Amino acid sequence: MMKIENFDSPIGALVTGVDLSDDLDPDSFETLQDAWNERSVLVYRDQTLSPAELVNFSGRFGEHEIHVLNQYLHPDQPEILVVSNVKKDGEHIGVYDAGRYWHTDLSYLAKPSRGSVLYAIEIPEENGKPLGDTIWASTAAAFEGLNPGLQERLDGRTAMFDFAKRYRKLVADGDQNAVLTDEQKAKTPPVEHPVVRTHPVTGRKCLNVNEGHTVNINGMDDDESLSLLEDLWAHIVKPDFTYRHKWRPGDVVMWDNVPTQHLAICDYALPQRRLLHRTTLTGTRPY
């Protein structure tokens, strides 16, 4: 029987008693959907999923987004983005640096992703200890944790988001392999979004600025904008607002991108192998 246990944090819950390779009955799906909206991050352990089964499960929650980094799409299931540091014939088979900076998936699109599902196939470890943790932060709890004056100051403002910002940061950090093609740049022009967005189901207000993709807050000079953004980024990721996941092979984690941000801890390197499959669900224009 399916059971959902909330973690001791503002977000996250462990789901047991369900095999994601099977079709969910309507009642089970509704229960999971309600828990996803309420808890933002759901963890399923000990799953065995083919690419088609992962696509089938995640597709129950929304339409799949085909990622702009098409060189890393699964050859048989383009709905899947391969996340991996593994190389074949000298080339990376997946996004090798995924999640290095705090971000919300596809926040640089006019309609950012609603959610993502990540399935762990290989997880790096050292002396039996898993590496490559992922941390999620609740941007809803973070907004609610601001003083009312700052909440009012932010509500109604907009900010610019740009996918290329992440690549500029990677190059500045010494990664000369971080390259966007002209076609990929053309598909991801800078976009404007509200600094505070509303969750489409729960109605909670969420901070909507992230280190990886947010360039500036409109209507402020550069120094004022950067100072405020840095304060907000530091506030969002306070331990009181976060859940840290230690991966195991067979884990499936699904998260709601509207009220969360996440960060992958890059504390491993080849020959320690990391391989995961990710599907992404389309969203709506933030408001």
Instruction: Give the active site residues.
Output: 103, 105, 262, 278
Torsion angle, CA of 208/166/79/58, rounded to 10 degrees? -30
Taking residue 165's Cβ as centre, other Cβ atoms within 10 Å add up to 19
Alpha carbons 38 and 256: distance in angstroms, whole number: 10
Alpha carbons 245 and 13: distance in angstroms, whole number: 11
Single-letter amino acid code for the residue at 49:
L
CA distances, 100 to each of 8, 63, 208, 238 (Å): 25, 26, 18, 17
CA distances, 87 to each of 23, 75, 98, 178 (Å): 34, 15, 15, 15
Say if residue 222 is exposed, middle or buried (CB neighbours under 10 Å; 0-12, 13-18, 19+): exposed
Taking residue 238's Cβ as centre, other Cβ atoms within 10 Å add up to 12
Alpha carbons 286 and 77: distance in angstroms, whole number: 28
Q: How far apart are the first and last CA of the chain?
A: 38
Alpha carbons 55 and 51: distance in angstroms, whole number: 6
Contact 87, 196 (CB under 8 A): no
